[in-house]
Amino acid sequence: MPRGYPVIGIACAMLPARWGPWDQPAAVVGADYVRQVQAAGGVAVVVPPQACPPHAVLDLLDGLLLTGGNDLESSLYGAPAHPEAEAPDPERDAWEAALVLGAMERDMPFLGICRGMQVMNVARGGTLTQHLPESLGTTDHRRRTGTFEGNDHLVDLQEGSLAARVAGEVVHSVPSHHHQAVDALGEGLVLTGRSSGDGVPEAIEAPACRFALGVQWHPEADPTSPLIAALVDAARGA
């Protein structure tokens, strides 16, 4: 029987943190992800990299959310690291790739945000463009580092796609903060959204799954966005 309060696993990184007198690694996830899951009636569970097999965690969840973060290790898609690439976290990369593959295999509702969309693609054999300013000649997708203010733009979503159904429109205004993007698509994935004007991939999904969506933008930074609530609703009925 479906749970009344669907449990949403939010994958996170182990990062240096400070609180009170302490300065040490901690399991870190942005509070906006947690708040939006809770506001939609879900139970937010933070899931850091672990030594157990992914099914041991997925068995406890009704839905999975992969968040933003540092660039993936480029060797995962057979490329040398670009000079502008951020330092990767191989443990997190491997753990999240295993989680998303496990979630899609069992048809668990899944949403990948920014880095999470890129993990989704690379886990299925896809590749990434490592530095958009080099290929586009602009910094339009991350005009200001460390903030979403001033980083908004429009995306065009394919009519009838999961992305468009969830967003409730085919032209959607989004907050953005990234310098990498999906290049070649992974197996079983389709491209259903592009940035208006420059055509950068903004949404991918797996048609064989009930709800498996990756978006390059940050719905957690927009309190009016329906995307995370849609994940919770899908998990409630899964």
For 106, the token pair is: 């069992």
For 80, the token pair is: 């040398």
For 75, the token pair is: 């060797």
Tell me the pLDDT tens digit for each residue of 29-50.
Answer: 999 999 999 999 999 999 999 9
Helices (H), the chain: 31-39, 54-58, 90-105, 115-123, 132-136, 162-167, 227-237
Tell me the pLDDT tens digit for each residue of 228-238.
Answer: 999 999 999 87
Q: Is the pLDDT of residue 107 over 80?
A: yes
Rounded CA-CA distance 162/210 in Å is 9
Residues in contact with 46: Cβ distance below 8 Å, sequence separation at least 6, in sequence order: 10, 12, 27, 29, 34
φ, ψ for residue 14, nearest 5 deg: -100, 115
At 142, the pLDDT band (50, 70, 90 cuts) reads confident
For range 80-92, the mean pLDDT: 93
Asked whether the beta carbons of 57 and 96 are under 8 A apart, the reply is no
φ, ψ for residue 105, nearest 5 deg: -65, -35
Q: Is the pLDDT of residue 156 over 70?
A: yes
Q: Is the pLDDT of residue 140 over 90?
A: no
Which among 12, 96, 114, 179 is annotated as catalytic? 114
Closest CA to 118 of 30, 186, 37, 53: 186
Which among 73, 96, 205, 220 is annotated as catalytic? 220
CA 60 to chain CA centroid, nearest Å: 20
Tell me the pLDDT tens digit for each residue of 178-216.
Answer: 889 999 999 999 999 999 989 999 999 999 999 999 999
Active site residue 114: yes
Q: Is the pLDDT of residue 1 over 50?
A: no
- What ranges make up the beta strands (E) of the chain? 7-11, 13-19, 22-28, 43-47, 63-66, 110-113, 128-129, 152-157, 171-175, 181-182, 190-195, 201-205, 212-215
Residues in contact with 145: Cβ distance below 8 Å, sequence separation at least 6, in sequence order: 177
- Fold annotation for 7-15+24-125+181-192+203-237: Rossmann fold (3.40.50)
Determine whether 24 is exposed, middle or buried from the number of CB atoms within 10 Å of its CB (0-12, 13-18, 19+).
Answer: exposed
* Comparison of pLDDT for 95 and 137, the residue scoring more: 95
At 2, the pLDDT band (50, 70, 90 cuts) reads low
Asked whether the beta carbons of 206 and 103 are under 8 A apart, the reply is no
- Could you give the dihedral angle defined by the CA atoms of residues 20, 24, 30 and 35, in that order, rounded to the nearest 10 degrees? -50
Rounded CA-CA distance 39/168 in Å is 19
Active site residue 84: no
Which among 141, 153, 172, 218 is annotated as catalytic? 218
For 213-234, b where at least 16 C-beta lie within 10 A, e where not — what string?
A: bbbbbbbbbbeebbbbbbbbbb
Active site residue 220: yes
